[in-house]
Every structure is written in C-alpha cells, then in structure tokens.
Amino acid sequence: MSEYAVELEGVSKHFGPVVAVDGVSLSIRDGEFFSLLGPSGCGKTTTLRLIAGFELPTAGEVYIGGKPQGETPPYRRPVNTVFQNYALFPHMSVFGNVAFGLEMQKVSKEDIRRRVLESLEMVQLPGMENRKPGQLSGGQQQRVALARALVNRPKVLLLDEPLGALDLKLRKAMQLELKALQHRIGITFIYVTHDQEEALTMSDRIAIMSGGHVLQIGAPGEIYEQPADRFVADFIGETNFLVGRVSEIRAGEATVLVDGTLEVCALATADVVAGQEVTVAVRPEKMTLHAAPPDPLALPGRVEEVIYIGTDTRYLVRLTEQTIVVVREQNLGAATTARFHEGEPVYVSWTSGCDRLLTE
C-alpha cells in the first residue's frame, strides 16, 4: 500500500488543440486535505475529472491507492465526487439519492438503511430522507451531495467547488464544517476552488495551478510567505511588486535599483546575479509607514490616497514616477483619523526577510 492516496505522474489532457492539463505531477498523502487552486480555465477541474475518471489522460498516469488507473471507468474507481451543481437525482428522494451508490454496490437493504441514516446524521440532515432535492435549500442540497458521496466510504473524496453556489455566510460556516468533518473521518479530500481564502482556510496543502501547469505545491503558510513566482505571489493575497535590476549582491543581500532611482534591499536567492532583471515582492501588511526614516534602507515616498476599511487602513504610497505601493496598517488604537494624510511625505520599511526576490 502506497503512502499516497492519489498520485499523478506527468499527466496531460488535450481537448483537440487545447491543452487543459500539461504534464502535472502530484502526490497527495493519505488523509490529507489537498486543494487545487487557480483562476478559471487553469485546468484544476480537468485535473479532478482525470482523477475521477470522467476524462482519460492524453499522457501520463493516475494512481489511486498506488494502483495505476489506466482507462478504468469512473464506476470502478474508489473515489466519489461532490459536484459543483450537486447533480442530485431530481426524481429520487434524499434517501434514494444517498442510497444510490450503496445499491449499485449491492449492499444489503438493512445496511443501506443504517448507513444512509448515519451519513445524513453526519451532515446534520436527520429526518430529511423523504424530501425531494427540489424541496431543499442550496445548503441542504450541498449536504445531501456530501452525504451521497461519503456514505460509500471512499478512499478519496473529490470536491469540485462545492461551496461555489452558496452565499458568503453559509460558505464560511460550511468551510469550517467541511474541515472538521474531514478531520473526524480521516478521508483524503481533494478540493477544487478558485477562492484563495477558502483554500488557505481549509487545506493541509495547496497546489497553485495556471495554464494547465502546477506552479507551486505547499502548505498555506509556505504558499503565502514564500510564493515561487510572480503569478503565485499575485494570485494569493495582495502583493506589491517592485521591478528593477540587481546592482549589487553583498552578504546575502541584493540591492535592486527600481525605476533607475530607488534602491531597494532584499534577501538574495541562490540563483540571482548582478545585472539581472528581478521583482521584489512585499505584502502590504508587512510594510510600515514612518514620518522620519527609521533606518537608511527605508524608502521615501508620498501618500497618494488613504482608504479606511474598518480593521485596517490602506495607504497608497508613491515611491517613484512609475511605482505605487499599498501599505496596510492595522487599526490597533481607537483613533478615528488615519496616522497619515494625502500628500504627506512618508518612509516605507519592512522587516528584513519579509521581502521575496523573484527572478521570473
């Protein structure tokens, strides 16, 4: 038995001339909550469908529980799916929907009854078994879809944007509930979403996808703090990009000349050389504003705009003719006015190491 629940080995999927998934390799551990995150059209849903068997790879191999799947049809794979639109059978009751998979596996009548009621209990829908899907709310339908998949006790549960159709509040509640459920039953979840916050909240690990490729795989913290490239840094959270050329590397610190005038210091990576075109990425919440320069590395600028958003205040600070950065400051005190005002000269600084030098 492999320690991996699902592995993809150089999997590609072409639809005619369109390459939806391009040489993706993934190893998803047993019991892991793994998210595929990316913008629409990045190939995340196709990747999920390749695991489920709804699509067959053009190249590469999908392994489930260590077994190569080849052209195994979906009904012979030990995985179950929660579909984006739930795909509940409208002509069957909730009981009929949840019992369907067990009936197909020829489970005995008594066992079906017991397991269906158990799983409805698990998704907090007891007493609903005689309703038709059309009589349920979106959130309830979502729970039925979940129960219908989980009742089969699959090795892996595949979820294709299952919360996409729910309103914000319900979605937040379901995120926590799903995560708790996964923790309790210990089944591997592979979760497709375009919502970065959702992925960060729920996942053990995340794979960021774009253009059919996997750009980075890592724990939420790694993805957020150490984005592999500009796309990841931009896609996950908010990031300031300072584009320039490396003028000097000394003691692990690279000095980057931005727009020919501004000198920015950043932690050098192993592959960076002097004269190279690079991007320094710094998250807005890592930056601080000062009225006087706290150290010689602080960048001088001028406040362009102040935006108050309750928990934080966002400052747009112009550093050069071409470059504006966003600085996010938590409103810790009780002051009703911002610390700085439009047009004021300020200095921007951040703790060394909070910056990230990207060569792409």
Partner 1 sequence: MTRTSRRQTWRILFLISPSLFWLIVFFFLPLILVFAISFGQRGTYGGVKWLLNLGNYARFFDPLYLRIFGRTVYIAGATTLICLLAGYPLAYFIATRPPQWRNVLLLLLMIPFWTNFLVRTYAWILILRDQGLINTLWTGSLHTGLLQLSNLVPLPIWEPLLHATAQPLTLFGTDWAIIIGLVYGWLPEMVLPCYAAIERFDFSLVEAAQDLYANRVKTFLRVILPLTMPGVVAGSVLVFIPSLGAYVTPDLLGGAKSIMIGNVIYSQFMAARDYPFGSAVSFVLMAVMLVGTLIYFRGGTD
Contacts of 96 (CB under 8 A, 6+ apart): 89
Task: Give yes or no for residue 17 binding partner 1 (CB under 8 A).
Answer: no
Integer Cα distance of 253 and 15 in angstroms = 46
Integer Cα distance of 217 and 203 in angstroms = 11
What is the x/- site pattern for partner 1, positions 262-301, by CB under 8 A?
Answer: ----------------------------------------
Both ends of the chain: CA-CA distance in Å? Answer: 39
Q: How far is the CB of 111 from partner 1 (least distance, A)?
A: 15
Amino acid at 62: V
Task: Give yes or no for residue 191 binding partner 1 (CB under 8 A).
Answer: no
Integer Cα distance of 55 and 69 in angstroms = 12
Quickly tell me which residue has 């706290």 as its tokens.
Answer: 294
Quickly tell me which residue has 């724990």 as its tokens.
Answer: 219
Task: Give yes or no for residue 101 binding partner 1 (CB under 8 A).
Answer: yes
Per CB under 8 A, contacts with partner 1 among 42-61 are 52-54
In terms of phi and psi (left: phi > 0; alpha: psi -120 to 50; beta: otherwise), the region of 15 is beta
Task: Give yes or no for residue 148 binding partner 1 (CB under 8 A).
Answer: yes
Task: Give yes or no for residue 18 binding partner 1 (CB under 8 A).
Answer: no
Task: Give yes or no for residue 105 binding partner 1 (CB under 8 A).
Answer: yes
Task: Give yes or no for residue 81 binding partner 1 (CB under 8 A).
Answer: yes
Give bridge partners of residue 287 from the DSSP assignment: 350
Locate all alpha helices (DSSP H) within the chain, ordered by sequence: 44-52, 94-104, 109-122, 138-150, 168-185, 196-202, 220-225, 230-235
**Count, residues near partner 1 per rule CB under 8 A:** 24
Task: Give yes or no for residue 322 binding partner 1 (CB under 8 A).
Answer: no
Single residue of 16, 40, 75, 184 touching partner 1 by CB under 8 A: 75
Binding segment toward partner 1, per CB under 8 A, in 89-97, 111-119, 211-219, 339-347: 89-97
Distance set, CA 18 to CA 22, 26, 38, 211, 360 (Å) = 10, 21, 18, 11, 25
- For residues 113 and 213, which CB has a smaller minimum distance to partner 1 in the complex? 113
DSSP for 228-274, please give it.
Answer: SSHHHHHHSS--EEEEEEEEEEETTEEEEEETTTEEEEEEPPTT--T
Q: How far is the CB of 218 from partner 1 (least distance, A)?
A: 29
Task: Give yes or no for residue 165 binding partner 1 (CB under 8 A).
Answer: no
Q: Let me know: does 175 contact 202? Beta carbons within 8 Å.
A: yes
Single residue of 11, 88, 159, 187 touching partner 1 by CB under 8 A: 88
- For residues 91 and 109, which CB has a smaller minimum distance to partner 1 in the complex? 91
Structure tokens at 291: 């009225």
Single residue of 90, 275, 296, 333 touching partner 1 by CB under 8 A: 90
Task: Give yes or no for residue 73 binding partner 1 (CB under 8 A).
Answer: yes
Q: How far is the CB of 178 from partner 1 (least distance, A)?
A: 18
Task: Give yes or no for residue 85 binding partner 1 (CB under 8 A).
Answer: yes
Single residue of 35, 45, 69, 80 touching partner 1 by CB under 8 A: 80
∠ CA(240), CA(243), CA(245), 5° rounding?
Answer: 145
Binding segment toward partner 1, per CB under 8 A, in 70-78, 114-122, 171-179, 302-310: 70-78
Task: Give yes or no for residue 147 binding partner 1 (CB under 8 A).
Answer: no
Integer Cα distance of 308 and 192 in angstroms = 33
Task: Give yes or no for residue 89 binding partner 1 (CB under 8 A).
Answer: yes
Q: How far is the CB of 54 from partner 1 (least distance, A)?
A: 6
Task: Give yes or no for residue 176 binding partner 1 (CB under 8 A).
Answer: no
Longest CA pairwise span in the chain (Å): 77
- For residues 72 and 288, which CB has a smaller minimum distance to partner 1 in the complex? 72
Q: How far is the CB of 332 from partner 1 (least distance, A)?
A: 49
Which positions touch partner 1 (CB under 8 A)? 52-54, 73-76, 79-81, 83, 85, 87-91, 100-101, 104-105, 148-149, 152
